[in-house]
């Protein structure tokens, strides 16, 4: 028994006014065929040596027990459900209405009723995927008042915008899933986008780097991964490269440069636009280990001052490129014959 506080009041155990202890007690009960251990709160009368709960305490103890049951069964607790709803600023009734559930369903889930797994999955989906919830809101617009809709839309849209990088990463991973079990394509490394971002920033921030445009960056990434594979039989980033007319280009290259942490400026040229990657104040390369940093430094020393034409020509001479059909994936087995080390 843990004493929380003491209150002078009329004790309903002995029906006398005296100092009553508010205490926490470890309890256990059988709920849905499972023994549940939980913490309950009671008023304790020393004179009668009895515990009693009334009003809010009864409700609190019931929620405490059911939340422990939820935790044991990997279900959201009542507070977690409330937090999901609060994150979007939506009322219990409106959320239930959008989901097509009974009007009091969310109210009950945030108190005394344990949700089933199907509803738990949907609530978790709302919590982790604002895009999905935004679509749900738009489809159910007529189910809530217009002022409420506008309020919810603004909040959800902001959360969706804040998650752009997460959605972008998910899209990139979807394009790489087919290569995870092909070590010769991914360099025996699962795609690590934190490393990709760190490598790009390291190249862009190097004082030895000359004019880092997209074409050059794509080749530098390949050289870094290939040199790493040559030295360690392990690539750095997990990127998969295709052989295109100007050399190696990673799968999803158009999306990679939009990852959070990568900075570039778009420039116009007579024959079109180009992307120039610029220095940033962020010099945190903790995603990379010391061996990987040494590999990047070696690539910069050899290729950092190359122009676009020079690095493309360098790439065209590599056995990996010459023995790979256009559009096909460049295999890391060729890294053993890489021209630099």
Q: What is the pLDDT of residue 267?
A: 87
**Which of 21, 38, 72 marks a domain boundary?**
72
Q: What is the pLDDT of residue 1?
A: 73
Same domain, 258 and 296: yes
In a domain, 320, yes or no: yes
Confidence of residue 279 (pLDDT cuts 50, 70, 90): very high
In a domain, 177, yes or no: no
Q: What is the pLDDT of residue 255?
A: 96
- Checking if the pLDDT of 303 tops 80, the result is yes
Same domain, 63 and 94: no
Q: What is the pLDDT of residue 87?
A: 95
Same domain, 221 and 307: yes
Confidence of residue 158 (pLDDT cuts 50, 70, 90): very high
**Total number of domains constituting the chain:** 3
Q: What is the CA angle 286-287-293, rounded to 5?
A: 80
Q: What is the pLDDT of residue 52?
A: 80
Confidence of residue 271 (pLDDT cuts 50, 70, 90): confident
In a domain, 268, yes or no: yes
**Which of 46, 72, 98 marks a domain boundary?**
72
Confidence of residue 130 (pLDDT cuts 50, 70, 90): very high
Same domain, 94 and 24: no
In a domain, 139, yes or no: yes
Same domain, 21 and 64: yes
Same domain, 227 and 315: yes
Rounded to whole angstroms, how far apart are CA atoms 236 and 188? 9
Same domain, 186 and 333: yes
Same domain, 332 and 258: yes
190-208, pLDDT tens digit by residue? 999 999 999 999 999 999 9
pLDDT, the chain, mean: 94
Same domain, 135 and 49: no
5-40, pLDDT tens digit by residue? 788 887 777 777 778 788 899 999 999 999 999 999
**Which of 27, 52, 72 marks a domain boundary?**
72
Q: What is the pLDDT of residue 61?
A: 92
Rounded to whole angstroms, how far apart are CA atoms 81 and 202? 42
- Checking if the pLDDT of 222 tops 90, the result is yes
In a domain, 170, yes or no: no
Rounded to whole angstroms, how far apart are CA atoms 225 and 320? 13
Mean pLDDT (whole number) for 223-250: 98
- Cα 261–chain centre separation: 15
- Cα 223–chain centre separation: 29
In a domain, 133, yes or no: yes
Q: What is the pLDDT of residue 148?
A: 97
- Checking if the pLDDT of 185 tops 90, the result is yes
Q: What is the pLDDT of residue 45?
A: 79
Q: What is the pLDDT of residue 2?
A: 81
Same domain, 31 and 112: no
Mean pLDDT (whole number) for 316-320: 97
Same domain, 142 and 286: no
Q: What is the pLDDT of residue 218?
A: 98
Rounded to whole angstroms, how far apart are CA atoms 205 and 283? 8
51-89, pLDDT tens digit by residue? 788 878 899 999 999 999 999 999 999 999 999 999 999
- Checking if the pLDDT of 50 tops 90, the result is no
Contact present, 235 and 192 (Cβ < 8 Å): no
In a domain, 167, yes or no: no
Q: Provide the whole-model pTM.
A: 0.75
Same domain, 192 and 314: yes
In a domain, 174, yes or no: no
Mean pLDDT (whole number) for 223-248: 98
- Checking if the pLDDT of 147 tops 80, the result is yes
Q: What is the pLDDT of residue 337?
A: 96
Question: Which H or E run includes 297?
Answer: helix 290-303
- Residue 51 main-chain phi, psi, to 5 deg: -105, 145
Q: Provide the percentage of residues in the chain whose pLDDT is more than 90.
A: 83
Q: Does residue 168 or residue 51 have the better pLDDT?
A: 168
Residue in the block written with tokens 């040229």? 269
- Residue span of the structural domain in which 101 resides: 78-162
Q: Per mean pLDDT, which range of 11-25, 97-111, 211-225, 270-284 is the poorest?
A: 11-25
Q: What is the pLDDT of residue 184?
A: 97
- Checking if the pLDDT of 111 tops 90, the result is no
């Amino acid at each position: 028994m843990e004493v929380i506080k003491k209150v002078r009041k009329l004790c309903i155990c002995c029906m006398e006014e005296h100092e009553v202890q508010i205490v926490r007690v470890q309890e256990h009960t059988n709920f849905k065929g499972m023994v549940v251990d939980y913490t309950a709160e009671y008023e304790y009368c020393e004179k009668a040596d009895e515990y009693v709960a009334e009003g809010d305490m009864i409700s609190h103890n019931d929620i405490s027990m059911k939340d422990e049951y939820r935790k044991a069964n990997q279900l959201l607790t009542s507070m977690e459900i409330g937090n999901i709803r609060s994150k979007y600023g939506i009322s219990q009734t409106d959320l239930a209405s959008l989901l097509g559930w009974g009007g009091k369903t969310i109210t009950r889930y945030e108190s005394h009723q344990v949700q089933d797994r199907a509803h738990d999955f949907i609530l978790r989906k709302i919590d982790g995927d604002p895009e999905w919830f935004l679509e749900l809101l738009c489809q159910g617009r007529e189910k809530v008042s217009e002022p409420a809709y506008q309020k919810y839309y603004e909040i959800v849209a902001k959360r969706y915008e804040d998650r752009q990088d997460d959605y972008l990463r998910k899209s990139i991973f979807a394009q790489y899933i087919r290569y995870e079990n092909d070590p010769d394509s991914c360099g025996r490394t699962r795609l690590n986008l934190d490393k990709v971002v760190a490598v790009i920033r390291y190249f862009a921030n190097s004082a030895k780097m000359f004019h880092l445009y997209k074409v050059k960056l794509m080749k530098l990434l390949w050289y870094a991964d290939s040199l790493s594979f040559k030295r360690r039989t392990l690539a750095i980033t997990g990127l998969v490269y295709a052989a295109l007319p100007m050399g190696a280009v990673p799968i999803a290259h158009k999306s990679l440069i939009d990852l959070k942490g990568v900075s570039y400026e778009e420039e116009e040229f007579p024959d079109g636009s180009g992307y120039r990657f610029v220095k940033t104040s962020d010099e945190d390369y903790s995603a990379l280990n010391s061996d990987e940093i040494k590999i990047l430094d070696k690539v910069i020393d050899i290729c950092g001052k190359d122009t676009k034409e020079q690095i493309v020509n360098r790439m065209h001479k590599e056995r990996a490129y010459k023995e790979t059909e256009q559009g096909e994936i460049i295999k890391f087995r060729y890294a053993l014959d890489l021209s630099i080390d």
